Structure 1
Amino acid sequence: MGRAYSIYVSAWLAPSEITNPIEQFFAKLKHWLRKAGKRTTEAVYDAIGPMLDTVTPAECSNYFSNAGYAQT
């Protein structure tokens, strides 16, 4: 006799760059770093600080909204 199997399909999306707010931000940060053309570890460290200063709370909120998290 054969076995009976049941399959449960989750309604949740699999983790991806689209559904993960931090991945959305890291993609933008990597773009800025490539554009800046920094090639040494120290130069990259020095470049990240000013880049982070340009990120606004509204931008962070948009990353979460884009990922499907509800505003509270």
Structure 2
Amino acid sequence: MNIRTETWLEHDIRFVEIEGEWWGIAKDIADALGYSQTQAMTKHLKRKYLTSSKLDDMNQKVTLISEQGI
């Protein structure tokens, strides 16, 4: 699994490559946009822009947002 980090508004956003497409970690994006809870942000997105995955270095699943969804 490929992971890259980009800086946006002085916040690091991690991206995960899934089947050739890059997906941003929702928690990182929510933090950059000033949301105190990730779910408060993701509830406004269509399901087609969301997925979840267990990252190699984490013991829990994370919510991911497609680049189009961002």
- By percentage of residues, which structure has more helix? 1
The TM-score with structure 2 as length reference comes to 0.34
The TM-score with structure 1 as length reference comes to 0.33
Structure index of larger Rg: 1
